[in-house]
Structure 1
C-alpha cells in the first residue's frame, strides 16, 4: 500500500510592524520631513495610522514643495516631483467640465479659474482648493468695485483664515478685502489706512488680520467690526544692515511670518545692493542684506531678532511660513531664511535696472540665507532649468 501524505497548510508569519511601540513610531514620524513619506508611513498598517493621528497635534510641519511649472511641484527634502489633477467644474452646454488651470498658490491652497463663454451673466468661476485635504472654497471673481476684472488683476495674496473667512491683500486700490463663505458672494473692502504707502504683505495672527506697509508700519484690520483699522506700530524698524546705504538706495522686500516657536509676529526684510555698493564675486554673492524683526505690541515697535533658534523661515510673495526644524537633516536646520529663486532674480534686476541675470543659466530654485553668518547658498533642484515661463512659489503641505 502506498503511503498517504497530507500537505500541511503553512501559516504565513505575521507582520512585525504593528508591534512597534506607538512612542517609537511617533519619534520616527517626527523625523520625516517629506509629506509623501508621512503618507507612506500611515499606509503601513492600522496601528501606524493611529500613531500618526496621535502625533498630529505635535508633529512639526512637513517641508514645503516648490511650484516650478503650471502643474508641477517639487519636494524640497527629496526632490520628488508631484502633480495635481485640475478639479472638475460644473458642466455647461459647451461640455467643458474642468477648470481652465491653476492661477497661483497661497500657503496650502491653490487657486483655479474656470471660464464660461456662452453665459454673459456669469462668465468666470474661481476656486480655492487644498490639494492635500481636498477642501474647496468658491470665492468671488468680481473685483471689489464690482467690475469684471480677473481676480489676479487686483489681488496680490490670499489667506484662508478659516472655513468661514478668506482675506485678500488688494493692490489696486491698496487695502485688504474679506470674504465670508455662505454669507453672500462678494468682497468687503477695507482700504489702507496710510494713503501714501501701499501694503506689502498681510498675515493672520491670533485671530486678527495684520497688514504691513512699505515703511514698516503695521495695521490691524478688524474683520468683524465694520472695517475698523488700527495703526498698531507706527515707528519704522531700525535700518540695521541697510544703515550704510543712502536713503534712495534702500530698496527691499518685506514679508510677515508667524513664528513657530515663540508665537510672535515676525517681519523679514531683505534686499540687494545697488551696483555701486559691495563687491560682486558671483551673481549669488552680490550684496544680499537681510534682517528679521519681531513685533512688540506693548512698546509698539519692531525689535531686531538676531537668532532664530531652530526656526527655518520660508518667505515668498504669495505665502510665508516658519517651521521648527530641530528633527530635520542639516540642509534644513534652524536659523536660516529660504528665498525663492525667481523672486531673488527679479529683485536683483530691479536693483540694477536691467535683466543682468539670465533665467536659464543663473536663477537657482531657491537661496538659503544663514542668519548667524550672513552667508548665502544657492540651491538648484533636479529637473529642467527655470525659464521665463516658470513660476516660483511655496506650497505648504497641510491636511
Structure 2
C-alpha cells in the first residue's frame, strides 16, 4: 500500500472511504455524495431539525457529519442550526507524512491543499501552522482551506534558531518548532531542543526570549500564556505564567513544586524490575488548567531479551489550583468532569461528551534516527475510572502502512472546526 500523490484523496483501505473537502461538498464522481439538490416532495428532507440533531449526536466523526450535511439542502440547513448544540467532533490524528487518520473509524486521508514547499506542519488546535521553504509562515484552516499569512511572526523568528538538520538528510532543513499556540490575544511558538528553549510571540513585547531547557509544554488559559517545567531527577513540575517586566519577557512562578502522594513509588528504584519515564502535558479544560503526567514503562537493561516493550501504563492528572492567590498548588484529580483529553507534545485539548468521558487519548511520539516513529507503537485510550488502556483504533490495517511514511514533523492531534 502506498500514499497517492493526490492531495485530498482518500487512502485505500478495508474500511469505508470518506473524503473531506473545504466546502463540505463530496466529489461529483460519487452519485450519492453529489452536490445537494432540492428534493421537495420526498419525506426525508422534511425531517424535523431536532430529529436530525439526535442523529448528529450519534456521529462523533467529523467526516460522517460532513456526509450527512451533503445529502440535501434542507439537511444542510438544519444541521447548521444544530451545530451549537452538538459536542465537538473527534479529532484527526495528523501523521508525519501529510496524511491523517479519522476517529473512530481509522480511515486514512490526504490533507488537502498543503503547499508543496511546506517544510513543517504544526497543529494549533483547529488550524495548521505551515512553515514554507522560504521561511515564511501561514495559518490554514483545514476545513475551509482559508489561509492567513503570518508575516509578523516570521519576521521575529531569527534565522539561527529557525532550522535544524535532519540526521537522515543533511541537505534538508526543518524548523525546531515544538508547539504553536494561537489565541485571540497572542500567538506563541515554543522552539528548541534538550539544551535550550525559546518562546517567540506576537502580542508581547519584546517578541522573543530564551527560557530554561526544562520547559516541556505551553498552553493558553483564560487569555494568558502558561508554561510547564519538569525536573526529571526530582520528578517535580513547576508552573509559570508568561509576562513582561521592564521591556523584558519573564516567567512568574505560580506553582513551585509537584504534590507527591505519601507512599507513592519513587521515580527510580534500583531494586525494582520496573523502570519508568514520564511525559507531561499542559491542558486547558473549561475553567481548569490541568497537568497530565504519563507513565511509560521501559524494558530492563538486563536481561536484554526480557520481552518487555516500552508501553504507557498509566496517567495522573493534577489541577492547577489557587492561581490568582499567588500561592498556587497542584491538586490530584480523579475525574475529568465529563470531558476527555487528547494529549500530544504538539497539541493537546479537552473535549466534552462525544469522546469517552474520563478518558485520555494518546499516541507514540518517540524520535529515532532523526525521524518520528510509528505513532501507533504505543497509543491507546486510558480510562481514569478503572486504570485500563484500550486500543486507540479497533483496527490498524490502514494506519500501520501510513505510519511509516516519512516526514519532518511529529504526529499530533488536529481538531477540525465545523463550517
Decide: shared fold, TM above 0.5. Answer: yes
1:160 touches 1:166 (CA, 8 Å); kept in 2?
Answer: yes
Alpha-carbon separation, structure 1, partners of 2:388 and 2:54 = 32
1:166 touches 1:178 (CA, 8 Å); kept in 2?
Answer: yes
Alignment partner of 2:138: what SS? Answer: strand
Q: CA deviation at 1:267?
A: 1.0
Alpha-carbon separation, structure 2, partners of 1:367 and 1:295 = 25
The question of 1:233 aligning with 2:255 is answered yes
Give the 5 Å matches for 1:98-247: 98-100=116-118, 102-115=120-133, 123-139=134-150, 140-141=153-154, 144-145=157-158, 147=160, 149-150=162-163, 153-162=175-184, 165-171=186-192, 173-179=196-202, 188-192=207-211, 195=212, 198-214=214-230, 215-222=236-243, 226=247, 227=249, 229-238=251-260, 243-246=265-268
Q: Which residues of structure 2 form unaligned runs of 5+?
A: 1-38, 165-173, 231-235
Q: CA deviation at 1:78?
A: 1.8
Alpha-carbon separation, structure 1, partners of 2:210 and 2:340 = 32
Aligned to 2:357: 334
Q: CA deviation at 1:142?
A: 5.7
Aligned to 1:256: 282
1:64 touches 1:397 (CA, 8 Å); kept in 2?
Answer: yes
Structure 1 pair 309/128, CA: closer, same or farther in 2 (3 Å)? same
Runs of 4+ in 1 over 6 A off after TM superposition: 247-250
Alignment partner of 2:377: what SS? Answer: coil
The question of 1:44 aligning with 2:71 is answered yes
**Equivalent residue in structure 1 for 2:397, among 374, 382, 391:** 382
Aligned to 1:9: none
- Which fold has the larger relative contact order, with Cα–Cα distance below 8 Å and residues 6 or more apart in sequence? 2
Alpha-carbon separation, structure 2, partners of 1:365 and 1:52 = 37
Q: What is the RMSD computed on CA atoms of the aligned residues?
A: 3.6
Aligned to 2:81: 54
Larger radius of gyration: 1
**Equivalent residue in structure 2 for 1:272, among 275, 280, 296:** 296
Alpha-carbon separation, structure 1, partners of 2:224 and 2:347 = 17
2:186 touches 2:201 (CA, 8 Å); kept in 1?
Answer: yes
The question of 1:31 aligning with 2:58 is answered yes
Alpha-carbon separation, structure 2, partners of 1:225 and 1:21 = 60
Aligned to 1:292: 317
The one-character-per-residue Cα deviations of 1:142-190 (angstroms, maximum 9, x if unpaired) are 664453733864431101113x63111233642422125xx9xx98024
Q: CA deviation at 1:221?
A: 1.3
Structure 1 pair 147/43, CA: closer, same or farther in 2 (3 Å)? same
Aligned to 1:303: 331
User: How many residues are matched?
Assistant: 343
Q: CA deviation at 1:338?
A: 1.2
Alpha-carbon separation, structure 2, partners of 1:388 and 1:242 = 41
Aligned to 1:22: 49
Q: Which residues of structure 1 form unaligned runs of 5+?
A: 1-11, 89-97, 116-122
1:167 touches 1:179 (CA, 8 Å); kept in 2?
Answer: yes
Aligned to 1:94: none
Alignment partner of 1:44: what SS? Answer: coil
Q: CA deviation at 1:131?
A: 0.9
The question of 1:320 aligning with 2:348 is answered yes
The one-character-per-residue Cα deviations of 1:97-118 (angstroms, maximum 9, x if unpaired) are x534553333222233333xxx
Moved more, 38-47 or 20-29: 38-47
Alpha-carbon separation, structure 2, partners of 1:206 and 1:220 = 11
